[in-house]
Amino acid sequence: MRRVWLVVLFGLTACSSIGGPSSEPTDESPSEANNANLTDAVLTDAVLTNAVLDRADLAGANLTGANVTGANLTGADLTGADLTGADLTGANLAGANLRDAVLAGASLRDALLSGANLTGADLTRANLTGANLTDANMEGADLVGANLTRADLTNVTGSPAPTSPTPTSPGPTSPTPTSPTTTSEP
């Protein structure tokens, strides 16, 4: 039962990589897919509310517009994943690898991102209100227009990308080139 439900949920044609070796019903939630291999999966607009995907491999996955509210993605690999406009409100992403992930316009309101790797992540216009980013690595993360109201940034490491262009000082002046003069012969 559980394997069939996950096949429908994730749109996969094979289910051997998720749900475990047994197809017998269990007491576990049908949205549980610990250690699932969903590399490069297309989960656009998927509803994964309260899903248990801890340690899942979602590297390169397309989760654009997905509803992942309250999901458990502890230790998940989301390297290079596209979560543009996804709703991750209250999601647990503790220790997750979000290196180079695109979270532009995503809602990470009250999300747990402690110890997460956000190196090079695109968080432009993301809502991180009340998010816990304790001990997260944010080296080179793009935070232009991000809302960090009440976010816990205790022990965050790395330097986010500049939020505005760095002013440059004018270099040495060089003579202005003159345009060649043409004369017309009568």
145, 138, 152: which is closest to 105 by C-alpha?
145
Residue 17 in tokens = 């990589």
The 10s digit of each residue's pLDDT in 136-159 is: 999 999 999 999 999 999 999 998
Name the residue with tokens 């899903």: 51
DSSP 8-class letter at 22? -
The 10s digit of each residue's pLDDT in 60-75 is: 999 999 999 999 999 9
What pLDDT, on a 0 to 100 scale, did the predictor assign at position 169?
Answer: 38
Q: Which residue has the higher pLDDT, 84 or 178?
A: 84
Contact 117, 101 (CB under 8 A): no
Q: pLDDT over 90 for what percent of the chain? A: 65
For 14-39, what is the mean pLDDT?
Answer: 51
82 vs 15, 96, 133, 154, CA distance in Å?
Answer: 23, 14, 20, 26
Distance, in Å, from the CA atom of 147 to the CA atom of 161, rounded to the nearest integer, reads 15
